[in-house]
Amino acid sequence: HTPRLVLEGVTEHNLKNVSVEIPLQRLVCVTGVSGSGKSTLVQDVLAPALMRHFGRSTESPGAHERLLGAELLADVVFVDQSPIGKTARSNPVSYVGAWDAIRELFANAPLSRQRGYTASKFSFNSGDGRCPTCGGSGFEHVEMQFLSDVYLRCPDCDGKRYRPEVLEVRIERPVLSAPAAGAPPVTLGHARATGAASTDTVANPTLVRRTPPVVSRFVSLSVADVLNLTVSEAASIFAGDRDVIRALQPIVDVGLEYVKLGQPVPTLSGGEAQRLKLAGFLAQAARDGSSSRQPVARNGSLFMFDEPTTGLHFDDIAKLMRALRKLLDAGHSLLVIEHNLDVIRASDWLLDLGPEGGDAGGEVVAVGTPNDLRQHPRSHTGKALRDYDASVGLGAHAAQEAQAVIARAGTHARPGARAVVDAIQIVNAKEHNLKSLSVDIPRDRFNVITGVSGSGKSTLAFDILFNEGQRRYLESLNAYARSIVQPAGRPEVDAVYGIPPTVAIEQRLSRGGRKSTVGTATEVWHFL
């Protein structure tokens, strides 16, 4: 019998005496239309009630009668998109605990042993190995009175964080490359369901025959060089260092392999911060050595997520789902508020609220497996699943037709092409990770920017288009108005032609306190 968490008699906001049972050690999705009560149930009632049970300081939970089964959990964690921290010293490699293992590697280098350096010598947060001018941050913070604060590269360490004598310590690691054509494969062992190789004798063994990678060269790295590596580069270079790769692998699993090890955490987007938090929990599970399901009564925690797939590419969603399954395999429970149909289809159990939003919602419409909801007549989620299944069935044929049309037309991307005349033209954009990008965006059209996470979509849309359009509009205002608005700096782009004043509509309001309401935010209140 699956252990369950039971929440009874919830009447907070628009919820109408709702009672739910949440299976533990399962992926449970809370679904429903916007305003149906999902966030109220999870964020306003369940999460505070569980945190109070574990003695945490939290807001008072919303109105409910009782909560049963909390003793079956070891902890409760709400993984949202809020920033991880405000200090620029925090970075991905330290957040998942990989930096300790890397510092040990440098401490064991021949030059370190000769000089008597310990692992603490390679810390950028403390110790006498860091740059005394910037304190190991790599830059100096200059506070401005009327403009945004400025961060300048440290003049003494040139942004490398450490003293020159510490940077003299280097480690060598092999760089692996693909084997040459015609190289003979090597039998590694018997294939198992987990993908691990074994030399044990089994019935009807299937031998894994792979061509091993070749060491093409060795790379020499200082501690500053390592911080400048991306996660994917570091995972390749440190593939033979078990402690390092065990801590870095969770970052790869959640689809953040493109971030740099030393990238300040405050510069991550909300979705990236949420996935880095998930990577931190996966790294903790790896350190605990928990690779199989454990009894929930002993060590299972409940992880709650609020739409973790928001803004993610399809490929990134698949990576995220694999990471969530690893948490399940470690004996934990997952409760996810989600609209993405791929995640809903892959869930073990669904709680569908509705049927509509606001006063017309707040009820439990259906519970069960995704297949149960498909057969429910009143569930909007069930209808969406049926429609999605039908579209997936037709998807292969549609994709083949589209491929044939593309092949006949000979359509392909041509860098620098200028086919559109009435367009916003961006020339040689180099902001963040954009590599001399030149594009035309047709005006008076509905345009969509796609790509995997970290490919530069937000940089192109917000950091270049929005900021440049806003900056040019603000230049027409007087100096006093500009000092209040504080426009963003000019993006790193050679030229932007044909851009009108711009408006950014983001997912969350950037400003506003408790007195801010829908009426004031939309400026309707002034007319009332």
Single out the residue of 182, 129, 116 nearest to residue 160, CA to CA: 129
Give the pLDDT of residue 210: 46
Q: What radius of gyration do the chain's Cα atoms show?
A: 27
Q: Which residues contact 100 (CB under 8 A, 6 or more apart)?
A: 119
Strand partners, 30: 337, 351
Give the pLDDT of residue 400: 59
Q: What is the DSSP letter of 120?
A: G
Homologous superfamily of the 417-528 domain (CATH): P-loop containing nucleotide triphosphate hydrolases (3.40.50.300)
SS3 call for 184: coil
Phi then psi for 188, rounded to 5 degrees?
-95, -30
Give the pLDDT of residue 431: 87
Give the pLDDT of residue 85: 72
Alpha-carbon gap, residue 120 to 122, rounded angstroms: 5
Low-confidence ranges of the chain (pLDDT < 70): 86, 144-151, 176-216, 289-299, 394-421, 475-488, 507-514
The dihedral through the CA atoms of 315, 320, 326, 331 has a sign that is: negative
The dihedral through the CA atoms of 82, 88, 89, 94 has a sign that is: positive
Q: Do 4-83+269-386 and 417-528 agree at the fold level?
A: yes
Distances (CA, A) of 241 to 102, 105, 174, 466, 505: 9, 9, 11, 44, 45
Q: Domain segments of the chain: what residues?
A: 4-83+269-386, 101-192+207-266, 417-528
- Asked if 29 and 347 count as a contact pair (C-beta separation under 8 A), the reply is yes
Helix ranges restricted to H, 91-216: 92-95, 98-107, 110-115, 164-167
CA angle 401, 404, 405 (to 5 degrees): 90
Is it true that domain 4-83+269-386 has CATH number 3.40.50.300? yes
The dihedral through the CA atoms of 116, 117, 119, 121 has a sign that is: positive
CA 89 to chain centre: 19
Alpha-carbon gap, residue 461 to 408, rounded angstroms: 32
Give the pLDDT of residue 261: 94
Single out the residue of 346, 323, 347 nearest to residue 335, CA to CA: 347
Distances (CA, A) of 386 to 340, 372, 374: 14, 11, 6
Is it true that domain 101-192+207-266 has CATH number 1.20.1580.10? yes
Give the pLDDT of residue 38: 95
- Asked if 69 and 9 count as a contact pair (C-beta separation under 8 A), the reply is no
Give the pLDDT of residue 401: 61
